[in-house]
Amino acid sequence: MGDLSLLVETVNFAAIKHKAQRRKDPEKTPYINHPIGVARILTEEGKVNDLSVLQAAILHDTVEDTDTTIEEIKEKFGDKVAGIVAEVTDDKHLPKSERKRLQIENAPKKSKEAKLVKLADKLYNLRDLNRATPSGWNPKRVSEYFKWASLVVEGLRGTNHQLEEELDKLFESKE
Ligand X SMILES: Nc1nc2c(ncn2[C@@H]2O[C@H](COP(=O)(O)OP(=O)(O)O)[C@@H](OP(=O)(O)OP(=O)(O)O)[C@H]2O)c(=O)[nH]1
The active-site residue, picked from 50, 65, 72, 90, is 65
SS3 readout for 32-91: CHHHHHHHHHHHHHCCCCCHHHHHHHHHCCHHHHCCCCHHHHHHHHCHHHHHHHHHCCCC
DSSP labels, 116-139: HHHHHHHHHHHHHHHH-PPTT--H
Q: Does 17 bind ligand X (CB under 6 A)?
A: no
Using the rule CB under 6 A, give the single segment among 18-26, 47-55, 69-77, 159-167 that binds ligand X: 18-26
121 lies in the binding site for Mn ion (CB under 5 A): yes
Footprint of ligand X on 87-116 (CB under 6 A) = 96
Backbone phi, psi, residue 30, to 5°: -55, 135
| Residue burial 102-120, b: 16+ Cβ < 10 Å; e: rest | ebbeebeebeebbbbbbbb
Q: Under the criterion CB under 6 A, does residue 129 sit at the interface with ligand X?
A: yes
Q: Out of 45, 50, 64, 72, which one is annotated catalytic?
A: 64
Between 5 and 96, CB nearer to ligand X: 96
Among Mn ion, ligand X, none, what does residue 163 contact (CB within 5–8 Å per kind)? none
Residues of this chain, 50-109, that bind Mn ion according to CB under 5 A: 61
Overall size of the chain counted in residues: 175
Query: Residue 83 binds which one of ligand X, Mn ion, none, with CB within 5 to 8 A depending on kind?
Result: none
Count of residues of this chain found to bind ligand X when the rule CB under 6 A is applied: 13
Which candidate, 60, 62, 52, places its Cα nearest to that of 19?
62
Residue 141: φ, ψ to 5°: -65, -40
9 is catalytic: no
The yes-or-no answer on residue 65 being catalytic is yes
Q: Residues with catalytic annotation?
A: 64-65
Interface residue list for ligand X (CB under 6 A): 23-25, 34, 61, 64, 96, 121, 125, 128-129, 134, 145
